[in-house]
Amino acid sequence: MDDKAATSEVIRALLNALGDEREYVRSSACVVFGKMGENAATSKVITTLLNALGDENEDLRSCACNALGEMGDKAATSEVIRALINALGDEHKYVRSYACEALGKMDDKAATSEVIRALINALGDEDEDVRYSACVVLGKMGDKAATSEVIRALLNALGDEDEDVRSYACVVLGKMGDKAATSEVIRALLNALGDENEDLRSSACNALGEMGDKAATSEVIRALLNALGDENEHVSYFACEALGEMGDKAATSEVIRALLDALGDDRYLVSSSAMKGLAKISGKGSSNDRMVGLLNALSVDSWCLSPETSISELAVRRMGLDGAFKICMKKYHLYYLETLSADQLISGFFQTGNVDWLPVITVAALLQGSAVTVTGKTIVVYGSKDPAVVNAFSLNDRRLTLKLVEAFVDQAKRLDLPRELPISFVMWNAVESSSMI
């Protein structure tokens, strides 16, 4: 017997079991149909499960709701959806809860105005599990549920006695983004930031972040700054993320200082999100102060820094090569030198004519395992990426090229590296090429 035949035989047996006089047998058959999901979603099975929704046993009705939900959009007929809406008014709380969940698993087919109205009513259910399930389903429906009526109902849910309902109402408002960014919603989320429940506080921070610059009032920014110091790391994490999402409006010196302080937080979630936040905001404070703080953070434990939010990229973008160099020399952090490419440093040297770049260049090349050659008028840096060419004579400065070569030679001598061995950070032909300049 092949799998298809075996499945058909099992389905027939389960359909018969749904007519058994024993309640536990009927319920068990529903449970199995739920586990089979779409594989059992035949018209006959769906019709039988619809009939089970009218059974006098509440466990069977609950299991029937669950089974229809597990079949997803294959069971999402208008008749099934109407039956599940009716089940939202069932006297038994578990039936109502499973009916909510089933509607949430039927995707867009269940995102009708009639279903949304029924879910709004469910937000006022006497049972907290039903109210929570209604929030979850409205969140899954996304923009289709982002109506003024739903937003008002979610605002009411922010005052729910159950903390899970309050928290998920925040989550749903966040998913609705700027559509939910009314002054009334923002005030309610600000109040939620002072709730004793940490999940609600973190959800409120996240929701404000999802609303972006539309929620970026001075009051919101102050509240998020306070949330950076929350004892719960998830609250602080989402506060950092939210400030980053608010763009220029949050790019004040006060915010930047707070995020710089958060870079030194010993909680990974907080320090990493602070880095991302700093990378996102355009920044209106002192560039030097900002970059000093970034580099100071490197002296702590900077494993939070990822290639996507490279400190070197941020430094160069915000300060320019010369500004980044000055801070680098002031702090001299090796991690920074490992992430700022040698060709960028060499370019900065030729742009500024500042010989203080030279020790930074040689150390960076050594740390990165880069090779630097000078041949005629061309400087080539060989590293982990494709070779990078720096044309020193675009600035017509032979003296600087000689200084560059001498710096590498001096470091090779200090490290006592013999000429006949390959040197990872500078090739000896650079010395010989200097005579050609």
The two tokens of residue 369 are 């395992």
Annotate 192-228 with b (16+ C-beta within 10 A) or e (fewer).
bbebeebbbbbbbbbbbbbbbebbbbeebbebbbebb
Share of the chain above pLDDT 90, in %: 32
Q: What is the pLDDT of residues 69-98, one digit of tens each?
A: 998 888 888 899 999 999 999 999 999 999
* Helix, strand, coil fractions of the chain, as percent rounded to 5: 70, 5, 25
Predicted confidence band of residue 417 (pLDDT cuts 50, 70, 90): low
The two tokens of residue 140 are 């899954």
Q: Please say if the pLDDT value at position 264 is more than 90.
A: no
Of the candidate ranges 165-179, 210-224, 335-349, 412-426, the one whose mean pLDDT is the lowest = 412-426
Q: Please say if the pLDDT value at position 43 is more than 50.
A: yes
| Pairwise pLDDT comparison (423 vs 99), residue with the higher score | 99
Rg (CA), the chain: 32
Reading phi first (left if > 0) and then psi (alpha if -120 to 50, else beta), residue 421 is in: beta
Q: Please say if the pLDDT value at position 140 is more than 80.
A: yes
Share of the chain above pLDDT 70, in %: 77
Instruction: Give the span between the Cα atoms of 404 and 346, in whole angstroms.
Output: 9
Best CA proximity match to 244, nearest among 257, 231, 255, 229:
255
Predicted confidence band of residue 274 (pLDDT cuts 50, 70, 90): confident
Residue 219 exposure: Cα atoms within 13 Å on the Cβ side: 10
Q: What is the pLDDT of residues 332-351, one digit of tens each?
A: 445 555 556 777 778 777 77
As a residue count, the chain comes to: 437
Q: Please say if the pLDDT value at position 418 is more than 70.
A: no
3-state class (DSSP) for residue 72: helix
User: Looking at residue 419, what is its pLDDT?
Assistant: 52
The two tokens of residue 30 are 């529903």
Q: Please say if the pLDDT value at position 328 is more than 80.
A: no
Best CA proximity match to 323, nearest among 296, 361, 275, 291:
291
pTM of the model: 0.66
Residue 297 exposure: Cα atoms within 13 Å on the Cβ side: 28
Q: Please say if the pLDDT value at position 202 is more than 90.
A: yes
Q: What is the dihedral of CA 80, 81, 86, 90, to 10 degrees?
A: 80
What's the rounded mean pLDDT across residues 420-433?
41
Q: What is the largest CA-CA distance in the chain?
A: 102
| Pairwise pLDDT comparison (195 vs 341), residue with the higher score | 195
Best CA proximity match to 34, nearest among 47, 23, 49, 22:
49
User: Looking at residue 161, what is its pLDDT?
Assistant: 92
> Would you list the DSSP string of 114-158?
HHHHHHHHHTT-SSHHHHHHHHHHHHHTGGGG--HHHHHHHHHHT
Q: Please say if the pLDDT value at position 189 is more than 90.
A: yes
| Pairwise pLDDT comparison (377 vs 38), residue with the higher score | 38
